[in-house]
Structures are given as structure tokens and as C-alpha cells.
Chain A
């Protein structure tokens, strides 16, 4: 503790803290430019100078720790005049173009000049000037305005780790920019725009569109991945065409004339809220254009004579209700299935399952995807809800699968940061592209696609052989150890090279690092558990984590799926075999719900082909576009008698539908979503609906009402427009681990759902047969499905901003392989596998391993799914020009 005197006020503070932090906490304002709490100290802007008794010169408070007995003055005449002089220096070269600068209104230089500077400057000569240069597709650089605070370059060094922006030249010629002025390729570059205290780095997508004081800010949650970053959506009323309109925002009124519409103009990170710290990935930051898009569904559509035509809500709803009722009466409730998506909110999903269980009377509900998990596996995933905070502080991080990097960039960014800044041991094991961590990973393992289970088996084997498990497994839990070991007979570490393409040393040292870590974390995403063996993989992962003790204090496992609210929809019981709160179907607690297990997505497709399934209700998903075997799904859906789709766009699935109902985006509705940690967070309404749509749960409530059933609010028929509060009340009553969740309790940072009450079953044996690496002389390369950071679903495919950001459908070939085939960037090549061929543009990279070709699967126009034969397994291929 230290006793310091701040402007004559004595305060007790912890020794070693910065004067700046202490003074700000005590309520004294100290202006800064270069200082940022989450970045390293630079102390170059000299705005934060303070006077300390006994020190001859003024000291930078952002770099000086407090000491006992210090007497600090923050407003002495010397300090005030130093600030004014410093601002005069900064304004020597800073152009006075505030009227055209997008930063004006939120510019630190503008604010501080207004507050501290003396009027007029003494500089009378020419200002230093640079050319304006575009930096990539999202950023415009006006380097004349730069005050060299180096927040951007420090961010790129310390946080994102991609060195996208750096200092070029020195002194008067200092310019922030990319090496050789090359276009920037980074997932996090948008953050530098937000960090820039002046208008030197501005967003091209926001450029000149609005002044910041016109924007209406709403704090909400990013829908683009399961991390659930807190964002501030900023919207504005803009005129539809260049016609008249009233600008009345600052009068607090809605526009009086009709021809206006509200648009989201930018998203910014809500720093320090929820899981967010400075950073958003560019997918979240720029992925709002689809909301403003004109191709959104505008009104309900009904199929007449084979064509979808616009209709009214009454007509469409009554058609859905009567059709579902008649199919239920004729063919039984089991002939109706429902699929939803991991994007919809908890309220949407809760009402959806309630509709199916209480009104239709079936458990046929599922989320389509690359994997479908039964109740026991999903319960295992509950134990793998680590916290993002852990990644930041962990000393050993293992990343399994490349989708962690592409689907949840923020999590892998934190992993890279932990490795770079704190020396954490970062190990990556990937089949395909190693997107973010190639420069920072201490060890990179390359397994063969399809051998995920073998990788886990090998790690478990190494843990058991090296006695690296928790102490208790040597003693009283020996039996459980034996249970796990029983399944590993097929795994011999000596054969591993042949099996999954992994070196024994690597596996052993990885197992040792994980075991020796005082704070370890294992991250895995969608692509690691995808495929037919997903249940076994999850169970094997659970066994491994149990052995290592990665269930709390020592380490954590984090499952990071791509879908924004996948965890929440699992909690809401979107599954054929469990109810909200993971209550097993058919158990005593299940109550009135149907007693028989329903069909999951993998069973629905053949059931649709066989005619067992007659109707499908689709909420916010597009299985025809996202399935790994599109033709099969499309043919199956074509055989259905009746399809209802509620979505934002005319998706491929919606084109097959009999009734299409327009839904609303995350920005137009309130509700709750649950992130990968189990943190329940609030969505807020950023703008009034742009189309005649309804919230997903409202549509289902209306369908239920048309069917004569009271659905919501404890079966008490009430029509409330903004009824999320009532739905949430019911959720918290029904789902035990959401018992504490209310809108007030969620608050600013979200509320962790408490899953500790849900008991895990004992460890089970998972029979692991080693994956045998196949070899074929004619097909020497491993073809691996890859993903694009910016495009990961039907919203992003229709987002102009993200389409611009995306590098496009590129086939990634390792540099040395490319050289062997005589390829250079931009060549058009053909990838051939036994299942099919694909033509595309090649991009050479060092981010993948030799012998691997990564084919993007989330560019629908590329139809790359044909290469893999609809399966998630090892695929061999070759390149041809």
C-alpha cells in the first residue's frame, strides 16, 4: 500500500499502480492519446504529464507507478501549459478538416483541443502531407491526420499478432501502414479503426455515411459465432431514395414522413462488457449489411400453382395451421418434423420445442449440422464449457481442429496472445488450414482428416502410459481408469505414424505439457467432432479431460461451435431425446411431453425419402445449402408433402417450401442468447423491423393460435407483442439451470447458467480402432474441407460487406506443393478426388502442411461438397491444371 497525495487529497492505493489509473479512479481527469489499458505502455503522446513534488520535470503518468509519499498535481499551471503546448505541437501537422473527417464527434484530439488548447497556433509553414491510400477493402488511411500514438501498430503486434500495421519510416516521414503498402489480410484489422484516437484510420464501409452524433447506439450481442461478443450496433434513419425526409433524431422523435428507413451503419466493440475486450473480429464488425439488404423476405409467401407468391400473414398462418392439423390427423404427429438453427434466440427455440411437443405432439426436432449428438454426449459437452477468460491466462493451450480459428476467431486470438505475451505453450492439431497461429504456435501437429478419434485415443494412451493422469486415478479411481483403457486396445503409439500421420514424440510431449500445465485449456470446434463418429469423439474427449483433470481448477475444455446460439438451443431442448434442461424423454420428470424419442436430422432425411415424414417446419435454417450432401437432402425435401420455412432470405430450402414466412434479424428483436461459456446475454432491439416480419417465436405462437392451441406464457392465452420477458420467465421456471435468469439478473455482463446441478454419468469405454491412413499413388494429396473466416452461413453469404472482405473461393495449396505443380497465385486448377472434380482459383500459402489441399466448403457457388462424397472423412485427391 502507498499513501499518495493527489491534488491535495490523500488516498491509499496499491503500490506499483500507474498514477494515471489511480488519478482516474479518484475522479481526476488526465487526458491521453497513446495510452490504452489493454495495450502496452508507450508514453509518447505526453498528454498525461503530471507534476510530482521533488521531481524536476513533469512525468508521464501513464508510465510512472505510484510510490509511498508521492505528492502529485494534475492541474498545476505547469501541467496545464504543457498540455496546451503539446496540443499545439500535435496540431502542427494535423489537418483541420474536421468537417469531412468521420472521426469528428468522437475524436480525442478534437475533444482535448477544445478542452485544453490555447486558441491559435504559431506554426506558419506548410504541413507534412501523405497520399491517401486504401488499406484492404475495409479501411481508408488518411495518414495526414495521424498523431503517431501507435495504438494500431501496438494492437497488431500484441493483440492480433498479425503485424498488419506497422511503423514505416521515421521522424517527420513516419507513416503507419502495411509493409510495402500491401493490402491488409487480417481478421481483426477493423479494431484499429476503433482504437485510432483521430481519423487517420477510418472504415471504408462507414466512410462519409453519417456523423457519429446522428447514430442511435444499442448494446447487443454479435450473432456470428458462439463467443457472443458484446457489440454496439449503431443505426440511423436514412432516406430510402433521394427524396425528402425529416431528420428528427436529436429531437427524440421518429421521422414524420414515410419514406425513411432505418439502417445499421456500423458495429463497434463494447469494450469491457461481457467477454469483449477491445477486439471484435471483422466478421462481427462488418457483418451487418445483410440486415439492411433489399433481398430480405418482405412479406409471407404461399405456393400457388408451383410458384411462391406474396400473401398476407392471416392467409399464410391459417394455411400452415390447417395443413399441419390435417397431416397430424391423417398421418399422425410423428410424420411432422421440425428443424431450427443455432442462430435463433433462446426464446425462439423454447417456443419452437414447446409447439412441437405440446401442440403437434412429437419429439421430431433437431438442429441440422455436420454432427448430431444424443443426450448423453450433449451432457458431456456441458462439462466442456470453459471460460474465455481462461484462454487468456492459461499456460498450456491445445487447439484441436482448424474451425476454432475460422469460426471463433476471438478465442484463437486470445490463445495466440497468451502464447506471444505470456509464453504459454500453444499446440495446434489441425487437418487443414492453421489460420491464425502459424507464427505463434510452439508445436503444430497435422493429423489426417477423419482420424480425430485416433488423435484423442493416442493422447489418452500417452496420458495413461506416461502416468500423466490425476493422482486420484492411480488410487481410488483406478477402476474408472481401467474403463477408459479398455477401449484403447487398438491404439499402439508405435503405429501412430501410419495411423493418423502423427509423430509419437509430438503426442507424448503434448500429453506431458497438458498434464504438467498449472492452467491448461483445450479448444475444439465443429470440424473436430463432425462426422459419423461424433458421439465417440465427444465421449473420448470427456474421458481424456477427466483423466487430465480438465474439469475446473487445473484446466478447462472449451467447445466453440460456429453457430451463435447452439449452446442455448441445446439448453432449450432442441433435440429428439431430451427436453429443456436436459430432461430425458420418457423419464418421470418429462411430464406431459411425448414419451417416444423423435427423429434427429440424420434420421429425418431418409424418413422424408421413405414418406414416413410428411411435413417439415424449418426455423432459420437452410439444410439444402449447408448439408454435406446437398442432392440427397434436396431430393428428400422434394418428396415432402408440406414445408414451412421461416427465414430472412429466399434460401435454397425456402425455394422448396409451400409457405415462407419472413422472420426478423437479431438487430430487430430482443431476447437472450447463450454463448459457449454458458453465459446468458441479452439481445436488444437496435432498430424497428425493416420488413413486415415477425420474431421467430411470435410466428410459432401465431401458428399455434391458428391451430386453436394456447401456447405461450404458461398456457394462458395472451397476446403480447414484446413478450420476451414472459417467455423468459417460463424458461427460468422450466429449465433448472436457468432458474436465476431474468432480464434484470442478466445485466451488463450476462449471467452464467449454472450447470453444476446436472450430474454426469460415470466414465464409459469408448472403443477406438486406429484410423488407417490410406495411400494411393494416383491421388497423392490430402483434400481437406476448409472454411472462410468471413463467410459461415446464410446470413454472411448475403452480406455485401463480408463478401467484399472474403478473399473469395480459393483453393489453398502449400507453397512447396504449388512449386512442384508449377502453380502460382491466381492460377485456375482442377482438384480431382474419387468422388468428383472441382475447378477453382489457387492460392499458395504456408499456413497449411505439405501434402494438404484445403478446399473451401462455405462458398456455396463452388459446390465443393461434391469432392467429399457427402462424408466427413479422409479424402485423397490430385491437382490438374
Chain B
């Protein structure tokens, strides 16, 4: 009872905890990711990130507007309208994903017969407007920049934080790259 009283008054628990913290600070490797100021994480290969539309060698869309992705999507994220292009191919005139509703389940990617819709490695698309999370065909094509590179997956890469009129960005500079674990 009295022992308990002295422990409480002299903050023994706290000091013990702080001691552990200090010991870890000096003896263990630092694993805190310096995101977004200095570093950025590149997720693993099976990560289901921001979607993108793939193109073939000639730069033409792979998508044939078959709407299988829209059909299988459990949340009704995808909207597609097809049309016949000049070459007589079936292509989407509208391909819109409302990512507010997306659960990143990956069924759309599974269903795609043309390997057109894919999950990239991207995860930075927070925005200030609702429209920012509604991916139109143009945006999905731009998102191809987030395509997964098997060699780089699961690494931490050095980056810098930029704030300009377009918003905030974390730009990889690739100077340093290391495996997280």
C-alpha cells in the first residue's frame, strides 16, 4: 500500500518506460519512415493500389469496353460506354471509376480479359474536391506512371516534399533505396 503510494508519487513507472525508450533510441536501428519529408515507401508487388489503364506497344488503349469489370464490381464503381473507333475496334468513350466507393478488392483486374485495367503502386490521391477521387479515362491513363516495377517493390526510396500551386506532392529522387526489412 505504502510502496504503491511512493511509486505513484515519484513516477517510477514513467521513468522505467522512459528508460526503455532511451535504451531503444541508442541501441536499436531506427525504423521510422521519414515520410513525406525525406523518404517514401514503395509497396509490395501484390499491393492493390491506384488503378491505371494499360496501353499496347503502339500506345493504343487495351480496353475494349466489354464492361466485365463494371459487371463484377461489388460496389458499382465503374462506368463504361463503348463506341466504335475509326479502325472498327470497340473502345471506351467513357471509363470512369468513382474511387470513393472502391474497396480495392481487385475483382475488376481479375475479370479483365485484355489486361487493360490494373492496380498500380500508387496510394497518394487524397484531394480537396470530390472530383479528385473520380478517375476519368484521362486520369487512369496518367496513373500509368504508378505502374509497378517488380525490382523496386517493397523498398523505401529517398524523396522530397513539394508544395506548390498544384497541391502537395512527394517526389521520389531515387538517390537512396533500401529494403524496409
Residues of chain A at the chain B interface (Cβ within 8 Å): 98-100, 104, 132, 207-211, 213-214, 238-239, 242-248, 250-251, 253
Contacts and interface: CB of A to CB of B under 8 A. Distances in A.
B12 to A, nearest CB: 58
29 contacts: A98-B66, A99-B64, A99-B68, A99-B90, A99-B113, A100-B89, A104-B66, A208-B82, A209-B83, A210-B81, A210-B82, A211-B66, A214-B67, A214-B70, A239-B81, A239-B94, A242-B93, A242-B94, A242-B136, A244-B96, A244-B98, A244-B134, A244-B136, A245-B94, A245-B96, A248-B76, A250-B76, A251-B76, A253-B76
Interface of B: 64-68, 70-71, 76, 78-84, 88-90, 93-94, 96, 98, 113-114, 131, 134, 136-137
A246 B90 contact: no
A655 B31 CA distance: 78
Contacts of A100: 64-66, 89-90
A242 B96 CA distance: 9
A247 B68 contact: no
B136 A247 contact: no
A251 B83 CA distance: 24
A243 B81 CA distance: 11
Contact of A99 (B83, B94, B114): B114
B65 to A, nearest CB: 7
A210 B64 CA distance: 12
B70 A247 contact: yes
Contacts of A213: 71
Contacts of A246: 76, 79, 98
A239 B79 contact: yes
Contacts of B64: 99-100
A243 B79 CA distance: 10
B112 to A, nearest CB: 9
Nearest to B79: A247
Nearest to B84: A208
A210 B71 CA distance: 12
B81 A238 contact: yes
A244 B95 CA distance: 8
Nearest to A248: B76
A209 B94 contact: no
A99 B80 CA distance: 13
A247 B108 CA distance: 14
A209 B71 contact: no
Contacts of A211: 66-67, 71
B144 to A, nearest CB: 19
A213 B93 CA distance: 19
Minimum-distance CB pairs A-B, first 8: A99-B66, A247-B79, A208-B82, A100-B90, A244-B134, A211-B67, A248-B76, A208-B90
Nearest to B91: A208
Given A238-B81, A247-B76, 18 more contacts: A99-B90, A99-B114, A132-B88, A207-B84, A208-B65, A208-B82, A208-B84, A209-B82, A239-B79, A242-B93, A244-B79, A244-B96, A244-B134, A244-B136, A245-B96, A247-B70, A248-B76, A250-B71
A210 to B, nearest CB: 7
Contacts of B88: 132
Nearest to B78: A247
A214 B81 CA distance: 11
Nearest to A249: B76
Nearest to A260: B79
A238 B71 CA distance: 16
Nearest to A246: B98
Nearest to B116: A99
Contacts of A209: 81-83
A253 B75 CA distance: 12
Nearest to B66: A99
A213 B70 CA distance: 11
A761 B88 CA distance: 65
Nearest to A244: B134
For B94, B113, B114, B136, the residue with the greatest tally of chain A CB atoms inside 10 Å of its CB is B94
Given A209-B82, A239-B94, A244 B131 contact: yes
Contacts of B81: 209-210, 238-239
Contacts of A104: 66
Contacts of B96: 239, 244-245
Contacts of B114: 99
A99 B96 CA distance: 18
A247 B71 CA distance: 10
Contacts of A251: 76
A100 B76 CA distance: 21
Contacts of A99: 64, 66, 68, 90, 113-114
B143 to A, nearest CB: 15
Nearest to A132: B88
A243 B80 CA distance: 11
A665 to B, nearest CB: 23
Contact of B79 (A98, A207, A245): A245
Nearest to B100: A246
B132 to A, nearest CB: 11
A664 B76 CA distance: 31
Contacts of B67: 211, 214
A209 B131 CA distance: 25
For A98, A100, A214, the residue with the greatest tally of chain B CB atoms inside 10 Å of its CB is A100
A246 B64 CA distance: 19
A244 B78 CA distance: 10
Contacts of B93: 242
A235 B93 CA distance: 18
A253 to B, nearest CB: 8
For B88, B98, B136, the residue with the greatest tally of chain A CB atoms inside 10 Å of its CB is B98
A362 B64 CA distance: 62
A553 B68 CA distance: 56
B114 to A, nearest CB: 7
A382 B35 CA distance: 85
B80 A247 contact: yes
A21 B88 CA distance: 41
Contacts of B82: 208-210
For A132, A238, A246, A251, the residue with the greatest tally of chain B CB atoms inside 10 Å of its CB is A246
Nearest to B67: A211
A239 B82 CA distance: 12
Contacts of B76: 246-248, 250-251, 253
A98 B94 CA distance: 20
Contacts of B136: 242-244
Contacts of A239: 79, 81, 94, 96
A238 B67 CA distance: 14
B109 to A, nearest CB: 15
A792 B132 CA distance: 49
A210 B67 CA distance: 9
For A104, A208, A245, the residue with the greatest tally of chain B CB atoms inside 10 Å of its CB is A208
Contacts of B90: 99-100, 208
Contacts of B84: 207-208
A357 B83 CA distance: 52
B117 to A, nearest CB: 12
Contacts of A214: 67, 70
A239 B113 CA distance: 25
Contacts of B71: 211, 213, 250
B81 to A, nearest CB: 6
A181 to B, nearest CB: 18
Contact of A208 (B68, B83, B98): B83
A99 B79 CA distance: 16
A22 to B, nearest CB: 37
A239 B95 CA distance: 11
Nearest to A238: B81
Contacts of A242: 93-94, 136-137
A783 to B, nearest CB: 43
A214 B71 CA distance: 9
Contacts of A247: 70, 76, 78-80
Contacts of A210: 81-82
A209 B94 CA distance: 11
B115 to A, nearest CB: 12
Nearest to B138: A242
